[in-house]
Structure 1
Amino acid sequence: MSDRSTTTNARPGGTGPLAGRSVARIGYGAMQLERHHDDPAVGVAVLRRALELGVDHIDTAQFYGNGFVNDLIRQAIPADSDVFIASKVGAAPDPDGPFPMRPAQQPAELRTAVEDNLRALGRDSIALVNLRRLEIGPGLAAHGDQIVDVDDQLAEMIALRDEGKIGAIGISAVTVDTIRRALPAGIACVQNPYSLLDRRFENALELCAAEQVSWVPYFPLGSAFPGIPKVTEAPEVIAASKAAGVSPAQIGLAWLLGHADNTLLIPGTGDIAHLETNLAVGGIELDAATTAALDAVGAATTTVPIAPPSWPGDADVTTGRS
């Protein structure tokens, strides 16, 4: 599904399909731009540098900084740009609550979230919107009336697509059974936690590859959440990084690109130097011996539970984004 022969600064990581478009396999997750609330110009500069380096796939959400991140994207990327903007719904900002967001799973809430994204981004349509279900952990958990059947949610997403407000539908934080149920809706991508050391959704990745659905993992290097291993701390990853003369994080991201052709990465950062390091992963090719060693350690260390915990944090917080 990809063409790594096109790896240049213009298309970091080569190209892969996403919702009928060809995008760079290394995009940019915008969540970490929240940190620049006191100096928005810095966030705009990070976005513009990403575009200069060939990034053409930006992942965002209205609940990132209660619309602040979307406002930065509006400032940095003209509405008529061909940059692929993907957002997500299923949670809503909650700046006065104990955590910065709350579940928002009801169909009417999904529609409201799409409208909020459109206004903040200054666009008439969003190329792709991911339905963030709350089926797996860690992260927000659904309770009470926030436990909604996926078919009801997809019906609303399809209506929004038919109205032209979104171009394509993705799903996030879901089990493989939900992916199967969602396939008839014409989903374009799946966002689930996945890394070299967290391969509990290998069957979901394989299903997506077979159905030509893009796989866009979060937690690509692990997480600070308890129980999720950090890729950069694995001895085998550290050894591979020393042998190759690159960072452990770059090894972890390069493994993801090489493991499955339908994988698209969206590593995030609020720092230009770190951005450049992430995008340089597109030029790293792991040899067969290194790949085999990493495959073996990853297969042996996946023990993360699938069920969500009660801690209502943000499932997009990741040590792969700084």
Structure 2
Amino acid sequence: MSKINAAGTVRLGRRHVKRLGYGAMQLAGPGVFGPPKDRDGALLVLREAVAAGVDHIDTSDFYGPHVTNQLIREALAPYPDDLVIVTKIGARRDEAGAWLPAFSPEALTEAVHDNLRNLGLEALEVVNLRVMFSVHGPAEGSIEAPLSALAELQRQGLVRHIGLSNVTPAQIAEGRRICDIVCVQNQYNLAHRADDALIDDLAREDIAYVPFFPLGGFTPLQSSILADVAHGLGATPMQVALAWLLRRAPNILLIPGTSSVAHLRENLAAAELELPDEAMAALDGVGASAGAA
């Protein structure tokens, strides 16, 4: 497999990482709950990603729970010096796999220690505070209390850098008054573009923007425009969707996930796909039509 160049790098705290990383969520079982169907296959995907040059892996101890972090440790520890593992806290799973908020100082502290133990690390490079005021997406509300608790764990040396996930611009502004914010992780893709202005604002501040569900998530992106552009470029629609994100803004850092080595290779190849201006213009229309629907 060819090494990725990922169209340059993005600053992530004290490190610079390639713009195309890997999201580990899909390594857990169905619904991101329980063990993978193919444990050996999951380990192979992680090893192949790093062998291909991926230096940024996104995970969380509430994936499984504990499953993806334990797989990452088994597959990759001792970790390469250039590998940045980013995790998130602020949620938990119940016995049926439901996603529940876990915002108290005690819950956040426990989550950090769970991530440290299951990843086999002494400090977490980046921890995203996942805000869960609504299950349907970002919702307004103060994040001062949980973020202050996370900032205290940073002062203790357990966390090096802090990011935010599933947040509004007002919450980002509030968060930046409490501590340095090195990245924002929200839903964004070719068809879901509510954060257009936010991405540009963060780019001016040199803050990384990490879109989750870059390929649509559990409902993959479907668009005749996307399919037509991909056909014209000799690429797959998903490669074009990732390439569009890489060109959309210089601070976008991608974490497409998969449990398949074949899909991993397909995703990573998107870093080498060049989109001409006319393709970008056509693809921009996908978001406009989706917003009008």
What code does the residue aligned with 1:120 have?
N
Does structure 1 conserve the Cα–Cα contact (< 8 Å) formed by 2:125 and 2:160? yes
Deviation per residue, 1:83-117 (Å, 9 max, x gap) = 100000011132x13x3432212222111111111
The answer for the alignment partner of 2:39 in structure 1 is 40
Q: SS where residue 302 of structure 1 aligns?
A: helix
Aligned with residue 149 of structure 1, among 142, 148, 151: 142
The whole-number CA distance in structure 1 between the counterparts of 2:112 and 2:141 is 18
The answer for the alignment partner of 1:297 in structure 2 is 286
The whole-number CA distance in structure 2 between the counterparts of 1:292 and 1:10 is 26
| TM-fit CA distance, 1:255 | 0.4
The answer for the alignment partner of 2:32 in structure 1 is none
| TM-fit CA distance, 1:11 | 3.5
| TM-fit CA distance, 1:179 | 1.1
Percent identity over the alignment?
40
The answer for the alignment partner of 1:173 in structure 2 is 166
What code does the residue aligned with 1:108 have?
E
What code does the residue aligned with 2:90 have?
G
Q: SS where residue 61 of structure 1 aligns?
A: coil
The whole-number CA distance in structure 2 between the counterparts of 1:251 and 1:113 is 36
The whole-number CA distance in structure 2 between the counterparts of 1:178 and 1:303 is 27
State whether structure 2 residue 101 is matched by structure 1 residue 103: yes
Alignment CA distance shift 1:148-1:121 (3 Å): farther
Does structure 2 conserve the Cα–Cα contact (< 8 Å) formed by 1:27 and 1:56? yes
The whole-number CA distance in structure 2 between the counterparts of 1:73 and 1:194 is 25
Deviation per residue, 1:113-138 (Å, 9 max, x gap) = 11111111111111100000024553
Aligned with residue 235 of structure 2, among 243, 246, 266: 246
| TM-fit CA distance, 1:156 | 1.0
Aligned residues: 285
Q: SS where residue 168 of structure 1 aligns?
A: strand
Root-mean-square deviation over aligned CA pairs: 2.1
Q: SS where residue 159 of structure 1 aligns?
A: helix
The whole-number CA distance in structure 2 between the counterparts of 1:80 and 1:224 is 30
What code does the residue aligned with 2:84 have?
F
Pick which of 178-187 and 282-291 moved more.
178-187
Deviation per residue, 1:262-320 (Å, 9 max, x gap) = 0000000000000000000000010011111111332342269xxxxxxxxxxxxxxxx
The answer for the alignment partner of 2:48 in structure 1 is 49
| TM-fit CA distance, 1:162 | 1.2
Q: SS where residue 247 of structure 2 aligns?
A: helix
Aligned with residue 180 of structure 2, among 171, 183, 186: 186
Aligned with residue 130 of structure 2, among 124, 129, 132: 132
1:84-103 aligned within 5 A: 84-94=84-94, 96-97=95-96, 99-103=97-101
| TM-fit CA distance, 1:167 | 1.1
Dislocated runs of 4+, deviation >6 Å: none
Aligned with residue 251 of structure 2, among 252, 262, 265: 262
Aligned with residue 274 of structure 2, among 272, 285, 288: 285
Unmatched segments (≥5 aa) in structure 1: 1-7, 305-322
Q: SS where residue 63 of structure 2 aligns?
A: coil
Alignment CA distance shift 1:177-1:19 (3 Å): same
Does structure 2 conserve the Cα–Cα contact (< 8 Å) formed by 1:176 and 1:203? no
| TM-fit CA distance, 1:210 | 1.7
The answer for the alignment partner of 1:120 in structure 2 is 118
| TM-fit CA distance, 1:13 | 3.6
Deviation per residue, 1:147-183 (Å, 9 max, x gap) = 9731111111111111111110000001111111112
| TM-fit CA distance, 1:79 | 4.2
Normalising by structure 2, report the TM-score: 0.91
The whole-number CA distance in structure 1 between the counterparts of 2:108 and 2:131 is 11
Does structure 1 conserve the Cα–Cα contact (< 8 Å) formed by 2:131 and 2:164? yes
The whole-number CA distance in structure 2 between the counterparts of 1:256 and 1:135 is 27
What code does the residue aligned with 2:102 have?
A
The whole-number CA distance in structure 2 between the counterparts of 1:38 and 1:224 is 17
Alignment CA distance shift 1:161-1:303 (3 Å): farther
Unmatched segments (≥5 aa) in structure 2: 30-34
Alignment CA distance shift 1:183-1:303 (3 Å): farther
What code does the residue aligned with 2:124 have?
I
Pick which of 34-43 and 241-250 moved more.
34-43
